[in-house]
Structure 1
């Protein structure tokens, strides 16, 4: 079973998580033999946090509760407070998870935290532009491995810029293998284009699974 840990904190960018947590938690488009998935929010403490959109969320668990194994997935959303040293604990946990083959998925401001820790210096990645990382991370040395795309998947590290939430979600779902490939293709095309033909094609792939 995959354990999905969603890091939450004051000012987190709600919309960047919308696609991925909805699909992983609901399992509505999962293939018949998909592995089970558990989604939990994780915080520095159990104190409620308030998102950028004004939602109040109480964490399900704290950072020390994260299981360190290759079935864990850590989602790190953007937000306005990633320069706060208090996030150092989750960054260290992300490094630990990467070292054991767990999956770490970062988007927007969270890529800054990983860059500051040197975790993007040796791996293909993306963010909001190389200039953005250079501006926010004086010690950043990963320019040669920066890929100018909305989202980049490198084995168990998946990074995205602020506008890349949809593609980031697609790459996370693909990495976890919980959708049929054609289901994922049509899911992505529908939400990317809004063309109803892709919605009907998506639903047809589900009827073919005998769920």
Structure 2
């Protein structure tokens, strides 16, 4: 069973997590035999956090409770508060994940937090456009590894821009291998285009209840 640790912090960008946590939590499009996925909201304290959209989230656990293993994944959403020193502990944990070969998935402002810690200097990655990381992370030295795409998946690091949440979700689901490949392709095409034929194609890929 995969444990997905979702780091929550004040001003969290709600839309960046919408697709990924809803699909992993519901399992509605999981393939037959896919392992159960456990989502845990983790933070630096037990106090509720308030998202950019005004939602209140009560963390399930603390950073020290994170178990770093190949069956764990760390999701780091964007937020306006990543510069607060209290978030350094989770970036240190992200470093442990990457060193072990466990997955770290960062989007928007969280990529800047990784860049500040030097974790993008030798790994292919993306962020909010060329020049963004240089602007917000003076010690960033990963320019030669920057790829100008909405989301980049390279081994156990999956990064995205603030507008790349859908592709980021696709990469994460692909990494976890919980969808059939045709389900994932139809899912992505439907949500990225809104064309109804992809919805029906998606439905046709799902395992039969009678099976």
TM-score tier by shorter-chain length is: over 0.9
Matching of residues 53-202 of structure 1 within 5 Å = 53-202=53-202
Name 1:37's counterpart in structure 2.
Answer: 37
Paired residues, number: 211
TM-superposed deviation, 1:97: 1.0
CA-to-partner distance for each residue in 1:146-197, whole Å, 9 max, x for gaps? 0000000011000000000000000000011000000000000000000010
Stretches of structure 1 that go unaligned for 5 or more consecutive residues are none
Residue 130 (structure 1) shift: 2.7
> Is contact 1:31-1:209 (8 Å) kept?
no
CA distance in 1, matches of 2:52, 2:32: 36
After TM superposition, the score normalised by the length of structure 1 is 0.98
Q: TM-score, normalised by structure 2?
A: 0.98
Tell me the distance in 1 between the aligned counterparts of 2:128 and 2:50.
24
Whole-Å separation in 1 of the counterparts to 2:209 and 2:76: 32
Q: Deviations over 1:81-132 (max 9, x none)?
A: 1111111000000001111111100000000000000000000000012311
Distance across 2 between alignment mates of 1:159 and 1:151:
6
C-alpha distance in 1 between matches for 2:207 and 2:174: 20
Cα shift at 1:210:
5.4
